[in-house]
Structures are given as structure tokens and as C-alpha cells.
Structure 1
Amino acid sequence: MRRIYHRFPQSIDLDFEINRPFRDVLACIARMHDTHTTARGADGLVKERILVLIADGRTQFLDLNDLVPLAENVTETADFRVDLQRTLLTPEKRLPVSDNVFFLRLVDRGAVTECYVAKEGRLGEMDAMDLRKMLKGACE
């Protein structure tokens, strides 16, 4: 079943291919969902979290955990909303640093998967190339 979001941006920021079959890339996306890393930054400890939602009913997004197994429920094309959150961890509280939201479309092209990325808004320091690097790293 194709999972398309009807308001996917017409103007994309980046188009690239991953030399892996569609099902393999879906598995990579599923592994990335709801993960986080913690690193020391200039201001202190920073937590980076990745949340992935998949298009549902052409008008909304659904948490990936609600659609398991992913490879059996998605064919041909899938639209995702990827939310990359950065939070500064202090002893007193957690302070949101940035929230980068991307739309990601994966298209099955046989031995390769074509990817289209569009960033929602202009806030945040990340761009489409950062998401590409993360996705390719997760799939290798």
C-alpha cells in the first residue's frame, strides 16, 4: 500500500538515491525511530532525538510503532515526517535548543531507493544534507 501525504511540498530541497532495496531502507527508517544520542556541546550536555511518523490516510501522520511490521504495510512509495529534536540537559531542567522537521519521500526503484527531502520552515540549524547523511549512515 502506498502511503502518500497529499500536502507533501512541491519544492524539494534534496533528491538522492540510496543503493539499497526499498524494504531495506524502510527497515533503516524503523531502526532510527525514537532513538537518541547524548553529546557534550559548548553549553553542556545535549540530547538529540529522532522521531519518525508515516503518512496515513493521505491527510495525517501516524507513529511508526502503530504500523508494525512496516515492510508488510508499505509498498512502492512512502512519505515520512522526521522530527529531529535537540534538548540541552541541565541539572535543573531540560531546555529545547532546536526542532528540525523534514518531509521525506521514499520511492521504490528496484535495486535502489529514491529519496526526496524537504524541510518544513526555516528554523533549526540542520538542512537536508544532514538528514541525508544520517539516513545513509543508518543504512550502511
Structure 2
Amino acid sequence: MRRIYHRFPQQIDLDFELARPFRDVLSCIARLHNTHTTSKGSGGLVKERMIIQVADGRTQFLDLDDLIPLSEKTSEAVDFRVDFQRTLLTPEKRLPVAENVFYLRIVDKGPVTECYAAKESPHGDMDAMDLRTFLKGACE
């Protein structure tokens, strides 16, 4: 079943291919959901978290946990909402630093998977090239 979001941006920021079959890319994206890393920043520890949602019913996004296993419930094309959250961890509190939200459409093209990325808003410090680099590193 195609999982397409009807309000996916008509103007995309980046079109690229991943040299992996569609099912492999779906599995890779599912593994990335709700993962985080912590690194030392100038103001202390910075937690970077990745939340992935998948289109449902053409009008909304569902948490990826609600559709596991994803590869059995999708085919042809899937739209994702990818949210990168960056939080500064201090002993007293947690301070949100940045949030970058992207729409990502992956389309089955046989031995490769075509990807379309668009950023939800101009705010944040990442762009579609950063998303591409991240996905290529994680999936290949």
C-alpha cells in the first residue's frame, strides 16, 4: 500500500537516489526511529534525537512504532516526516537548541530507491543535503 501525504510539498529541496532496494531503505529508516546521540558542545552535553513518522490515510502522520513491521504494510512509495531535535543538557534543566523537520518521500525504482526531501520551515541549522548525507551514511 502506498503511504502518501496529500500535502507533501510540491517544491522539493533535493532529489537523490540511494543504491539500495526499497525494502532495505524502509528497514534502515525504521532502525533510525527514536535514536539519539550525545556529544560534547560548547555549552555542555548536546542530545540529538531523531523521530520518524509515516503517512497514514493521506491526511496525517503516525508514529513509526504504530506500524512495525513497516516493510509488510507499505509498497511503491512512502512519505515520512523526519524530526531532528537537538537539546542542551544541563544539570538544572534541558534546553531545546534546534529542531529541523523534513518531509521525505521514498519511491521504489527496482535496485535503487529514489528520495525526495523538503524542509518544513526555513528555521534550524540543517538543510536537505544534511539529511541526504545522514541517510546515505546510515543506509549504505
Q: TM-score, normalised by structure 2?
A: 0.99
Q: How does 1:9-28 map to 2 (within 5 A)?
A: 9-28=9-28
Q: How does 1:110-129 map to 2 (within 5 A)?
A: 110-129=110-129
What SS does the corresponding residue of 1:91 show, helix, strand or coil? coil
Q: Percent identity?
A: 74
Question: 1:42 Cα shift?
Answer: 1.3
Tell me how far apart the structure 1 counterparts of residues 135 and 74 of structure 2 sit (CA, whole Å): 18
Please give the root-mean-square deviation of Cα atoms over the aligned residues, in Å. 0.5
2:62 counterpart letter in structure 1: L
1:99 counterpart letter in structure 2: E
Question: 1:43 Cα shift?
Answer: 1.4
Q: TM-score, normalised by structure 1?
A: 0.99
Partner of 2:8: 8
> How many residues of Structure 1 are paired with residues of Structure 2 in the alignment?
140
Partner of 1:54: 54
Partner of 2:79: 79
Name structure 1 gaps, 5 residues minimum: none
Tell me how far apart the structure 2 counterparts of residues 20 and 72 of structure 1 sit (CA, whole Å): 17
Deviations 1:57-81, CA, capped at 9 Å, x for gaps = 0000001110011100010000000
Tell me how far apart the structure 2 counterparts of residues 116 and 91 of structure 1 sit (CA, whole Å): 40
Please identify runs of 4+ aligned residues in structure 1 that moved more than 6 A.
Answer: none
Tell me how far apart the structure 2 counterparts of residues 125 and 49 of structure 1 sit (CA, whole Å): 15
